[in-house]
Structure 1
Amino acid sequence: MEKPAIHPYIPIIVGVISVAMSAIFVKMTNADSGVTAFYRMLFSILIMSPLFFFKYTHEVKKLSKRDWFFTTIAGIFLAFHFILWFESLNYTSVASSTVLVTLQPLFAFAGTYFFFKEKLSVKTIVSALIAIGGSVLIAYGDFKISGQALFGDILALIACALITAYLLFGQDIRKRLSLVTYTFVVYGVSTITLFFYIVLKGESFGPYPAQEWMWFVLLAIIPNLLGHTLFNWALKWVSTNVISIAILFEPVGAAILAYFILGEYLNASQIIGGTVVILGIMFFIIDYEKVKKIFFKIFP
């Protein structure tokens, strides 16, 4: 295999920082959550449009009616994931919200258990219990602060369930389409969903001050396009597990950025609970047999 121009871990680190910026940008906006989500999706597809229409439109013909149905469902789930996650940031801290959204791997396994009858291993059950314990600690600490913070935590958990549903509905189609085509189509469905959501709620599409437009564009470019593009580039050189573990550090990066940019402080329950959640999910993701083999190769 050819060597990468730069070490893969460098783009991965940049990717983690990029996705961690998402919550910060949302906190900086004054627009409604649905409007912020709409413009994030809209600007993403506008930026992708030249590449998609120049090189990938032929792939859309491969989509069957069933594919369009599942893609539409996936796009709707993605839209409401952003609405609820952005809304959660109005009530709870960046740290609590982003940590709870990282529970996605466990939600995914729960989904495959109930819908695809995949067996639960002891490792999965232990991981889930550890992560749930961490979530309870976060929720308990936030409840002591205010009922609003706890409400924000609940919204973040529902947002996590919705992003899991989005991934489950889209996983089969994603295997048969390029990243560009799949992303463009799903983002398009999500944008249309958000448009009607805003109309039905009577929220405003504008006008907004220049600073608001800057946050909308940055949300599209940095976490949406740059962050996930870098992760997908790195997959050529590293395993999926490395990316999965790296993404777990999004809440760590987000909490640090929130401290310096927004002045958000962490309480003890957030620090302990967040650490427990990340360790629980890391335990779920890591293949310990492979780790042992690598360890004994280095230290025979």
Structure 2
Amino acid sequence: MSDITSTSRAASLPVVDSVGLGAMIAAVLAIAWSPILARFSDVAPAATAFWRLMFSLPVLVVWARAEAGRAGGQPLANLLSRPGLVAAVLAGIAFSGDLAFYHAALPLTSVANASFISNLAPVASVVAGFVLLRDRIRPLVLLALGVALVGVVITSGAYHGGFSMGRGDLLATAAGFSYAFYLVALRVARSSRLAADVTLVSTIAAAMGLLAIVLVEGGTFLPHTLQGWAVVVGLGLICQVLGQGLSAVGIGRLPAGIVAIILLSHPILSAIIAYFVFGEALSLDQLVGGLLILGAVMMTRINMK
């Protein structure tokens, strides 16, 4: 897992390149396993997220060392003195906030509402990129984003009983904004840092934030079964190293609109995995919404030609 080119060349790449697209799709496939594996955890939600980050760190250090060597041999000792440090740290803090707010929202609102609100984060990141970073968004990407949003609305099922805004929905909104901030900060950090470097710094910052949350909230901290440890190790290697690591590669190479469209597909991928793992039947809403989202992803291929 590596950046094929240095960040100095990334600016000269086409608007969409196949390496970035492939990395982003693979990242979403890995992230889609997060709710599946987390269901088997035997510790508190914030503790699950903390251990997920901690078990990813050794692999991220090896990846960062290897990538730094290929890019010119900058040692990891200079990690804190390189440009983009503030953005990478803020990305990590925002990521820890996203995890904490989302898990706090679930007991207080419907899964449909929480899913719908939190999945608006990639769209919010596109708006933020347009306003703050002056991103240009192609008309076809905007159309695909609209199709994907319709798919999210249908998949979540929130339209059935109307949409309400209670305390849980406010927490889900905070989670969505946190993840949107994470995506924007990650893009800023990637303009001056390699993917592994950004992932390592943001993961360390997120782990520290989650540890503080765990200490405040309490609950079971240490897994007490072999399965419990296997779950957090799997979350670290699959969802954090592969998921967030490859997404950092993709975010550094793709426009924000296409990143958002691909990220919107992970709930339907989680539902498909849940069908095979737990035998949970896919509803008509999930099938129709999922087809729309996947169709929007395919539209990004048209944008490449």
TM-score of the two chains, using structure 1 as the length reference: 0.70
User: How far did residue 182 of structure 1 move?
Assistant: 1.6
Distance 2:254 2:126 in 1: 19
> Structure 2: 5+ residue runs without aligned partners?
5-17, 70-74
Are residue 60 (structure 1) and residue 79 (structure 2) matched?
A: yes
Are residue 72 (structure 1) and residue 89 (structure 2) matched?
A: yes
Within 5 A, what are the aligned runs for 1:14-29?
Answer: 15-29=27-41
User: CA 1:106 to 1:12, structure 2 compared with 1: closer, same or farther past 3 Å?
Assistant: closer
The equivalent residue for 1:297 is: none
CA contact (8 A) 2:42 2:228 kept: yes
The structure 2 residue matched to 1:192, chosen from 208, 220, 227, is 208
User: CA 1:151 to 1:23, structure 2 compared with 1: closer, same or farther past 3 Å?
Assistant: farther
1:286 match: secondary structure:
helix
Are residue 111 (structure 1) and residue 128 (structure 2) matched?
A: yes
Within 5 A, what are the aligned runs for 1:49-198?
Answer: 49-50=61-62, 52=64, 56-63=75-82, 67-86=84-103, 103-116=120-133, 129-141=146-158, 144=161, 158-198=174-214
The equivalent residue for 1:214 is: 230
User: CA 1:255 to 1:146, structure 2 compared with 1: closer, same or farther past 3 Å?
Assistant: same
User: How far did residue 251 of structure 1 move?
Assistant: 3.1
- Segment drifting more, 114-123 vs 218-227: 114-123
Distance 2:23 2:148 in 1: 28
The structure 2 residue matched to 1:41, chosen from 43, 49, 53, is 53
CA contact (8 A) 1:96 1:270 kept: no
1:28 match: secondary structure:
coil
Distance 1:184 1:140 in 2: 36
The equivalent residue for 2:300 is: 286
Equivalent AA in structure 1 for residue 194 of structure 2: S
Larger-gyration structure (1/2): 1
Distance 1:161 1:13 in 2: 22
* Superposition RMSD in Å: 4.5
> Any idea what the Cα deviations from partners look like across 1:207-264, whole Å, max 9, x if unmatched?
522211110000001122134556677999x977988766554333321110121232
User: CA 1:178 to 1:194, structure 2 compared with 1: closer, same or farther past 3 Å?
Assistant: same
Identity %: 21
User: CA 1:14 to 1:101, structure 2 compared with 1: closer, same or farther past 3 Å?
Assistant: same
> Structure 1: 5+ residue runs without aligned partners?
292-300
Distance 1:196 1:45 in 2: 18
User: How far did residue 145 of structure 1 move?
Assistant: 11
CA contact (8 A) 1:100 1:156 kept: yes
User: How far did residue 197 of structure 1 move?
Assistant: 0.7
> Any idea what the Cα deviations from partners look like across 1:31-79, whole Å, max 9, x if unmatched?
2221111111111113333555786414425336xx4443332211110
TM-score of the two chains, using structure 2 as the length reference: 0.69
2:55 match: secondary structure:
helix
1:176 match: secondary structure:
coil
Query: May I ask how many residue pairs the two structures share in their alignment?
Result: 279
Equivalent AA in structure 1 for residue 82 of structure 2: L
> Any idea what the Cα deviations from partners look like across 1:107-161, whole Å, max 9, x if unmatched?
21211244346677766665555444444434545865999xx987876564343
Distance 1:214 1:144 in 2: 38
The equivalent residue for 1:264 is: 280
User: CA 1:11 to 1:194, structure 2 compared with 1: closer, same or farther past 3 Å?
Assistant: closer
Equivalent AA in structure 2 for residue 163 of structure 1: Y
The equivalent residue for 2:220 is: 204
Distance 1:275 1:87 in 2: 30
Equivalent AA in structure 1 for residue 128 of structure 2: G
User: CA 1:133 to 1:76, structure 2 compared with 1: closer, same or farther past 3 Å?
Assistant: same
> Any idea what the Cα deviations from partners look like across 1:264-295, whole Å, max 9, x if unmatched?
2333333334444555x548x7375653xxxx
Distance 2:77 2:86 in 1: 19
User: CA 1:183 to 1:265, structure 2 compared with 1: closer, same or farther past 3 Å?
Assistant: same
Equivalent AA in structure 2 for residue 74 of structure 1: A
CA contact (8 A) 1:77 1:163 kept: yes
